[in-house]
Chains A and B, each alone.
Chain A
Amino acid sequence: MKILVVDDSATMRRIITKNLNSAGYDDITEAENGEEALGKLEGIQLILTDWNMPVMDGLTFVKTVRTMDAYKDVPIMMITSQAAKKEVIEALKNGVNDYLVKPFTAGTIAEKVKGLAE
Protein backbone atom coordinates (compact mmCIF):
# COMPACT_ATOMS: atom_id res chain seq x y z
CA MET A 1 0.00 0.00 0.00
CA LYS A 2 1.38 3.38 -1.07
CA ILE A 3 0.92 5.99 1.66
CA LEU A 4 1.47 9.77 1.50
CA VAL A 5 2.43 11.48 4.78
CA VAL A 6 2.01 15.26 4.79
CA ASP A 7 3.29 17.35 7.72
CA ASP A 8 5.43 20.50 7.96
CA SER A 9 7.29 19.05 10.94
CA ALA A 10 10.12 16.72 9.91
CA THR A 11 10.06 15.22 13.41
CA MET A 12 6.38 14.39 13.08
CA ARG A 13 6.88 12.90 9.59
CA ARG A 14 9.61 10.67 11.00
CA ILE A 15 7.47 9.55 13.93
CA ILE A 16 4.52 8.75 11.66
CA THR A 17 6.70 6.97 9.10
CA LYS A 18 8.40 4.93 11.84
CA ASN A 19 5.02 3.87 13.23
CA LEU A 20 3.84 2.88 9.76
CA ASN A 21 7.04 0.96 9.08
CA SER A 22 6.74 -1.07 12.26
CA ALA A 23 3.14 -1.87 11.31
CA GLY A 24 4.42 -3.31 8.04
CA TYR A 25 3.76 -0.37 5.69
CA ASP A 26 7.01 0.54 3.97
CA ASP A 27 6.00 2.37 0.79
CA ILE A 28 5.82 5.87 2.28
CA THR A 29 6.11 9.18 0.43
CA GLU A 30 6.53 12.39 2.43
CA ALA A 31 5.56 16.01 1.70
CA GLU A 32 5.90 19.06 3.91
CA ASN A 33 2.79 20.97 2.88
CA GLY A 34 -0.38 20.56 0.85
CA GLU A 35 1.05 22.06 -2.30
CA GLU A 36 4.04 19.71 -2.34
CA ALA A 37 1.66 16.82 -1.61
CA LEU A 38 -0.49 17.63 -4.66
CA GLY A 39 2.57 16.93 -6.80
CA LYS A 40 3.13 13.53 -5.19
CA LEU A 41 -0.32 11.97 -5.51
CA GLU A 42 0.41 9.53 -8.32
CA GLY A 43 -0.31 5.94 -7.23
CA ILE A 44 -1.11 6.99 -3.65
CA GLN A 45 -3.68 4.73 -1.96
CA LEU A 46 -3.91 6.41 1.45
CA ILE A 47 -3.18 9.95 2.68
CA LEU A 48 -2.25 10.99 6.22
CA THR A 49 -2.18 14.78 6.52
CA ASP A 50 -1.53 17.46 9.11
CA TRP A 51 -3.81 20.52 9.20
CA ASN A 52 -1.64 23.43 10.38
CA MET A 53 1.03 23.88 7.66
CA PRO A 54 2.48 26.84 5.75
CA VAL A 55 2.01 27.34 1.96
CA MET A 56 -1.10 25.12 1.76
CA ASP A 57 -2.82 23.88 4.91
CA GLY A 58 -4.30 20.41 5.29
CA LEU A 59 -7.94 21.36 4.95
CA THR A 60 -7.32 23.20 1.67
CA PHE A 61 -5.30 20.21 0.49
CA VAL A 62 -8.12 17.77 1.32
CA LYS A 63 -10.70 19.95 -0.42
CA THR A 64 -8.47 20.09 -3.51
CA VAL A 65 -7.89 16.32 -3.56
CA ARG A 66 -11.65 15.75 -3.36
CA THR A 67 -12.16 17.77 -6.54
CA MET A 68 -9.75 15.52 -8.50
CA ASP A 69 -11.44 12.59 -10.27
CA ALA A 70 -8.50 10.24 -9.81
CA TYR A 71 -8.22 10.82 -6.04
CA LYS A 72 -11.68 11.77 -4.87
CA ASP A 73 -12.13 8.37 -3.17
CA VAL A 74 -8.64 7.91 -1.69
CA PRO A 75 -9.01 7.47 2.09
CA ILE A 76 -7.65 10.44 4.03
CA MET A 77 -6.82 10.60 7.72
CA MET A 78 -6.08 13.95 9.30
CA ILE A 79 -3.42 13.86 12.04
CA THR A 80 -3.46 17.23 13.76
CA SER A 81 -3.17 19.12 17.02
CA GLN A 82 -6.50 20.85 16.27
CA ALA A 83 -8.54 19.33 19.08
CA ALA A 84 -11.83 21.25 19.03
CA LYS A 85 -14.91 19.23 18.10
CA LYS A 86 -15.97 21.93 15.66
CA GLU A 87 -12.74 21.35 13.74
CA VAL A 88 -13.17 17.59 13.64
CA ILE A 89 -16.64 18.08 12.19
CA GLU A 90 -15.39 20.63 9.66
CA ALA A 91 -12.68 18.23 8.49
CA LEU A 92 -15.06 15.27 8.19
CA LYS A 93 -17.56 17.42 6.29
CA ASN A 94 -14.84 18.33 3.79
CA GLY A 95 -13.87 14.79 2.88
CA VAL A 96 -11.62 13.53 5.67
CA ASN A 97 -12.40 9.86 6.49
CA ASP A 98 -10.76 9.65 9.91
CA TYR A 99 -9.26 12.06 12.43
CA LEU A 100 -6.42 11.60 14.90
CA VAL A 101 -5.47 14.26 17.44
CA LYS A 102 -1.79 14.81 18.26
CA PRO A 103 -0.26 13.69 20.57
CA PHE A 104 -1.08 10.08 19.81
CA THR A 105 0.25 6.75 20.98
CA ALA A 106 2.29 4.61 18.58
CA GLY A 107 -0.34 1.90 18.23
CA THR A 108 -3.18 4.26 17.32
CA ILE A 109 -1.91 5.18 13.85
CA ALA A 110 -1.38 1.57 12.85
CA GLU A 111 -4.85 0.64 14.08
CA LYS A 112 -6.55 3.48 12.23
CA VAL A 113 -4.53 2.90 9.04
CA LYS A 114 -5.54 -0.74 9.09
CA GLY A 115 -9.17 0.32 9.42
CA LEU A 116 -8.88 2.69 6.45
CA ALA A 117 -6.93 0.26 4.31
CA GLU A 118 -9.64 -2.40 4.45
Chain B
Amino acid sequence: MDVKYINPFINSVVTTMEMMVNTSPKRLAPFLKDNNIARGDVSGIIGFASQEIVGSVALTFPEKTVKKIYSVMMGEETNGTNEDIQDTVGELANIIAGGAKEEFSSMGITYHISIPTVVVGKNHSIVHKGGTHVMVVPFKLENNAFFMEISIKLKNNWKKNNR
Protein backbone atom coordinates (compact mmCIF):
# COMPACT_ATOMS: atom_id res chain seq x y z
CA MET B 1 0.00 0.00 0.00
CA ASP B 2 1.47 3.28 -1.13
CA VAL B 3 1.71 5.83 1.69
CA LYS B 4 0.44 8.55 -0.62
CA TYR B 5 -2.98 6.87 -0.55
CA ILE B 6 -2.96 6.64 3.27
CA ASN B 7 -1.96 10.25 3.95
CA PRO B 8 -5.25 11.88 2.86
CA PHE B 9 -7.08 9.78 5.47
CA ILE B 10 -4.52 10.56 8.17
CA ASN B 11 -4.78 14.27 7.42
CA SER B 12 -8.55 14.03 7.47
CA VAL B 13 -8.49 12.35 10.91
CA VAL B 14 -6.26 15.13 12.27
CA THR B 15 -8.39 17.95 10.82
CA THR B 16 -11.64 16.36 11.97
CA MET B 17 -10.45 15.85 15.54
CA GLU B 18 -8.97 19.34 15.71
CA MET B 19 -12.32 20.81 14.68
CA MET B 20 -14.66 18.50 16.58
CA VAL B 21 -12.80 18.13 19.88
CA ASN B 22 -10.34 21.04 19.77
CA THR B 23 -7.34 18.74 20.21
CA SER B 24 -4.73 17.68 17.70
CA PRO B 25 -4.27 13.90 17.76
CA LYS B 26 -0.74 12.51 17.70
CA ARG B 27 -0.08 9.86 15.06
CA LEU B 28 1.97 6.84 16.16
CA ALA B 29 3.80 4.29 13.98
CA PRO B 30 1.47 2.41 11.58
CA PHE B 31 1.57 -1.35 11.24
CA LEU B 32 -0.07 -4.08 9.15
CA LYS B 33 -2.95 -5.95 10.73
CA ASP B 34 -2.78 -9.74 10.85
CA ASN B 35 -6.39 -10.54 11.82
CA ASN B 36 -9.89 -9.02 11.77
CA ILE B 37 -10.10 -8.13 15.45
CA ALA B 38 -10.58 -4.48 16.37
CA ARG B 39 -8.47 -2.79 19.02
CA GLY B 40 -11.31 -0.98 20.75
CA ASP B 41 -14.95 -1.21 21.76
CA VAL B 42 -16.73 0.59 18.96
CA SER B 43 -15.86 0.98 15.28
CA GLY B 44 -17.32 2.97 12.41
CA ILE B 45 -16.62 1.56 8.96
CA ILE B 46 -17.10 3.19 5.57
CA GLY B 47 -16.54 1.63 2.18
CA PHE B 48 -15.45 3.65 -0.83
CA ALA B 49 -15.25 2.80 -4.48
CA SER B 50 -14.70 4.34 -7.89
CA GLN B 51 -13.24 3.56 -11.28
CA GLU B 52 -9.77 3.99 -9.79
CA ILE B 53 -9.85 2.55 -6.26
CA VAL B 54 -11.78 0.31 -3.89
CA GLY B 55 -11.42 0.00 -0.13
CA SER B 56 -12.63 0.91 3.30
CA VAL B 57 -11.63 2.96 6.28
CA ALA B 58 -12.53 2.25 9.90
CA LEU B 59 -12.17 4.23 13.08
CA THR B 60 -11.98 2.22 16.28
CA PHE B 61 -12.31 3.73 19.72
CA PRO B 62 -11.86 2.30 23.21
CA GLU B 63 -14.92 3.24 25.30
CA LYS B 64 -12.94 5.71 27.38
CA THR B 65 -11.75 7.65 24.32
CA VAL B 66 -15.12 7.89 22.63
CA LYS B 67 -16.88 8.98 25.84
CA LYS B 68 -14.34 11.78 26.11
CA ILE B 69 -14.86 12.79 22.47
CA TYR B 70 -18.62 12.73 22.90
CA SER B 71 -18.52 14.89 26.01
CA VAL B 72 -16.39 17.53 24.27
CA MET B 73 -18.52 17.48 21.10
CA MET B 74 -21.90 17.53 22.81
CA GLY B 75 -21.12 19.28 26.08
CA GLU B 76 -22.61 16.42 28.11
CA GLU B 77 -21.64 12.98 29.41
CA THR B 78 -23.07 9.70 28.19
CA ASN B 79 -22.96 6.07 29.27
CA GLY B 80 -21.19 3.10 27.70
CA THR B 81 -21.34 2.44 23.98
CA ASN B 82 -25.00 3.39 23.59
CA GLU B 83 -26.89 4.62 20.53
CA ASP B 84 -25.57 8.19 20.87
CA ILE B 85 -21.98 6.97 20.93
CA GLN B 86 -22.57 4.65 17.98
CA ASP B 87 -24.13 7.44 15.96
CA THR B 88 -21.21 9.74 16.76
CA VAL B 89 -18.65 7.13 15.69
CA GLY B 90 -20.49 6.48 12.42
CA GLU B 91 -20.64 10.19 11.67
CA LEU B 92 -16.94 10.68 12.49
CA ALA B 93 -16.13 7.90 10.00
CA ASN B 94 -18.36 9.62 7.44
CA ILE B 95 -16.64 12.98 7.96
CA ILE B 96 -13.17 11.47 7.72
CA ALA B 97 -13.91 9.44 4.57
CA GLY B 98 -15.60 12.40 2.88
CA GLY B 99 -12.88 14.80 4.00
CA ALA B 100 -10.12 12.78 2.33
CA LYS B 101 -11.79 13.29 -1.06
CA GLU B 102 -10.33 16.72 -1.65
CA GLU B 103 -6.73 15.52 -1.32
CA PHE B 104 -7.48 12.50 -3.51
CA SER B 105 -9.00 14.68 -6.19
CA SER B 106 -5.67 16.47 -6.56
CA MET B 107 -4.23 13.04 -7.51
CA GLY B 108 -6.99 12.62 -10.08
CA ILE B 109 -8.89 10.12 -7.94
CA THR B 110 -12.57 10.43 -7.05
CA TYR B 111 -14.74 7.97 -5.16
CA HIS B 112 -18.17 7.45 -3.66
CA ILE B 113 -18.56 6.60 0.00
CA SER B 114 -21.08 4.26 1.59
CA ILE B 115 -23.34 4.89 4.57
CA PRO B 116 -21.30 4.11 7.73
CA THR B 117 -21.81 0.86 9.62
CA VAL B 118 -21.04 0.68 13.33
CA VAL B 119 -19.87 -2.40 15.24
CA VAL B 120 -19.61 -2.61 19.03
CA GLY B 121 -18.27 -5.02 21.65
CA LYS B 122 -14.96 -6.26 23.01
CA ASN B 123 -12.89 -7.96 20.29
CA HIS B 124 -15.44 -7.25 17.56
CA SER B 125 -14.26 -7.87 14.05
CA ILE B 126 -13.97 -5.42 11.18
CA VAL B 127 -14.38 -6.60 7.63
CA HIS B 128 -12.60 -4.44 5.06
CA LYS B 129 -13.46 -4.05 1.41
CA GLY B 130 -10.07 -3.61 -0.24
CA GLY B 131 -9.30 -7.34 -0.51
CA THR B 132 -5.73 -6.45 0.43
CA HIS B 133 -3.61 -5.68 3.51
CA VAL B 134 -5.11 -3.64 6.31
CA MET B 135 -2.94 -0.88 7.69
CA VAL B 136 -3.53 0.30 11.26
CA VAL B 137 -2.62 3.85 12.19
CA PRO B 138 -2.75 4.39 15.96
CA PHE B 139 -3.48 7.86 17.30
CA LYS B 140 -3.31 9.43 20.73
CA LEU B 141 -5.74 12.13 21.70
CA GLU B 142 -4.03 13.46 24.81
CA ASN B 143 -3.86 10.22 26.84
CA ASN B 144 -6.59 8.40 24.96
CA ALA B 145 -5.88 5.99 22.13
CA PHE B 146 -7.88 5.40 18.99
CA PHE B 147 -7.15 3.67 15.70
CA MET B 148 -7.70 4.21 12.04
CA GLU B 149 -7.68 1.11 9.84
CA ILE B 150 -7.42 1.39 6.12
CA SER B 151 -7.49 -1.05 3.24
CA ILE B 152 -7.19 0.37 -0.24
CA LYS B 153 -6.56 -1.18 -3.62
CA LEU B 154 -5.95 0.52 -6.92
CA LYS B 155 -7.87 -1.04 -9.73
CA ASN B 156 -5.63 -2.70 -12.33
CA ASN B 157 -6.86 -0.88 -15.40
CA TRP B 158 -6.26 2.46 -13.73
CA LYS B 159 -2.78 1.48 -12.50
CA LYS B 160 -1.65 0.53 -16.00
CA ASN B 161 -2.78 3.81 -17.54
CA ASN B 162 -1.43 6.11 -14.87
CA ARG B 163 1.98 4.84 -13.80
Report whether A52 and B113 are in contact in the complex, using a CB–CB cutoff of 8 Å. Answer: yes
CA distance A9 to B95 in the complex (A): 11
Report whether B74 and A83 are in contact in the complex, using a CB–CB cutoff of 8 Å. Answer: no
Take A11-B74, A15-B73, A52-B115 as given contacts and tell me if A83 and B102 are in contact as well, using a CB distance cutoff of 8 Å. yes
Report whether A10 and B94 are in contact in the complex, using a CB–CB cutoff of 8 Å. Answer: no
CA distance A92 to B108 in the complex (A): 21
CA distance A53 to B91 in the complex (A): 11
Report whether A11 and B19 are in contact in the complex, using a CB–CB cutoff of 8 Å. Answer: no
For chain A, give the interface size range.
20 to 34
Residues of chain A with a CB closer than 8 A to B94's CB: 9, 52, 81, 102
Name A10's contact: one of B73, B84, B99 (CB within 8 Å).
Answer: B84
Secondary structure of the A contact surface, majority rule: loop
Residues of chain A with a CB closer than 8 A to B102's CB: 83-85
Chain B residue nearest in CB terms to A81: B98
Take A52-B115, A83-B102 as given contacts and tell me if A11 and B95 are in contact as well, using a CB distance cutoff of 8 Å. no
Given A11-B74, A81-B99, A103-B95, 10 more contacts at CB 8 Å? A8-B115, A11-B88, A15-B73, A52-B94, A81-B113, A82-B98, A82-B101, A84-B104, A84-B110, A103-B99
Interface residues of A (CB under 8 A from B): 8-12, 14-15, 52-54, 80-87, 101-105
Q: Could you show 26 A-B contacts with beta carbons less than 8 Å apart? A: A8-B115, A9-B87, A9-B90, A9-B94, A10-B84, A11-B91, A15-B74, A52-B94, A52-B98, A52-B113, A81-B94, A81-B98, A81-B99, A83-B98, A83-B100, A83-B101, A85-B102, A85-B105, A86-B110, A101-B99, A102-B95, A102-B99, A103-B16, A103-B19, A103-B95, A105-B19
